Chain A
Amino acid sequence: MSNVSILHEIYDHANRMEDAGIVDPDIVLTLKKLQGITKNIESKWITIQNPNSFYFYNAIKNVELIIDKMIDRFYNAKEMHDNPQVAVDTLRLIPNLIDVIEITESNETSEEVTEKVIEYTYKLRNKASETNLLESEDVDLQGIDNEKVMKVLNGMVEELNIPKELPDDVSVDDESIS
Chain B
Amino acid sequence: MTCQLMTKVFLDTNIIVSASIQVNSQKFGKPVIHPFFQESMHLLSTIRKKPNKQFGISSKTVEGETYRVIIKAVKHEVDKQIIQQSNISIETLFDEFSRISNVCLNKTRQLLSFISIEPVDSSEVQKNLGLVEEMAKSLKITYEGKYINRINKEIAAKRRRDTTMKFQWKTELRREVYRMFREEIEREAIQICGFMSNEPHKNKNDKQILAEAITIKNTLDNSQFYIASNDKKFFSPITLKGGFKSDLVTKEIYNRFGIICDTPKEIRTKI
Residues on A close to B: CB < 8 A? 45-46, 51, 53-55, 57-58, 61-62, 65, 118-119, 121-122, 125-126, 129, 134-135, 137, 140-141, 143-144, 146, 148-153, 155-160, 162-163, 166, 168, 170, 172-175, 177
Q: Tell me, in angstroms, the Cα distance from A134 to B96 when the chains sit together.
A: 17
In the complex, the answer to whether B241 meets A152 with C-beta atoms within 8 Å is no
In the complex, the answer to whether B160 meets A46 with C-beta atoms within 8 Å is no
Q: Describe A's contact surface by its main secondary structure.
A: helix
Residues on B close to A: CB < 8 A? 14, 17-18, 20-21, 24-25, 28-30, 32, 34, 36, 64, 67-80, 90-91, 94-106, 109, 153, 156-157, 160, 171, 174-175, 178-179, 182-183, 186-187, 190, 230, 232, 238, 240-242
Q: Are A119 and B64 also in contact (CB < 8 A) when A148-B100, A163-B232 are?
A: yes
In the complex, the answer to whether B178 meets A175 with C-beta atoms within 8 Å is yes
With a CB–CB cut-off of 8 A, which chain B residues contact A141?
99-100, 103
In the complex, the answer to whether B73 meets A155 with C-beta atoms within 8 Å is yes
In the complex, the answer to whether B64 meets A122 with C-beta atoms within 8 Å is yes
In the complex, the answer to whether B69 meets A159 with C-beta atoms within 8 Å is yes
With a CB–CB cut-off of 8 A, which chain A residues contact B79?
51
A-B contacts, 27 of them at CB < 8 A, read A46-B94, A54-B78, A58-B74, A62-B102, A118-B67, A118-B71, A122-B71, A141-B100, A146-B28, A148-B96, A149-B104, A150-B28, A150-B29, A151-B77, A152-B100, A152-B104, A156-B70, A157-B34, A158-B73, A159-B72, A160-B69, A162-B36, A166-B238, A170-B187, A175-B153, A175-B174, A177-B171
With a CB–CB cut-off of 8 A, which chain B residues contact A129?
106, 109
- Residue among A54, A119, A146, A163 with most chain B CB within 10 A: A54
Nearest residue, chain A, Cβ from B94: A57
With a CB–CB cut-off of 8 A, which chain A residues contact B80?
155
Q: Tell me, in angstroms, the Cα distance from A149 to B25 when the chains sit together.
A: 8
Q: Tell me, in angstroms, the Cα distance from A49 to B195 when the chains sit together.
A: 38
In the complex, the answer to whether A160 meets B157 with C-beta atoms within 8 Å is no
With a CB–CB cut-off of 8 A, which chain B residues contact A119?
64
Q: Are A160 and B97 also in contact (CB < 8 A) when A149-B28, A153-B32 are?
A: no
Identify which of A135, A144, A152, A166 contacts B77 (C-beta below 8 A).
A152
With a CB–CB cut-off of 8 A, which chain A residues contact B14?
160
Q: Tell me, in angstroms, the Cα distance from A134 to B101 when the chains sit together.
A: 13
Q: Are A125 and B157 also in contact (CB < 8 A) when A119-B64, A160-B18, A168-B241 are?
A: no
In the complex, the answer to whether A125 meets B74 with C-beta atoms within 8 Å is no
With a CB–CB cut-off of 8 A, which chain B residues contact A118?
67-68, 71
Identify which of B97, B104, B186, B240 contacts A54 (C-beta below 8 A).
B97
What is the distance, in angstroms, from A119's C-beta to the closest C-beta of chain B?
6
With a CB–CB cut-off of 8 A, which chain A residues contact B153?
173, 175
In the complex, the answer to whether A166 meets B96 with C-beta atoms within 8 Å is no
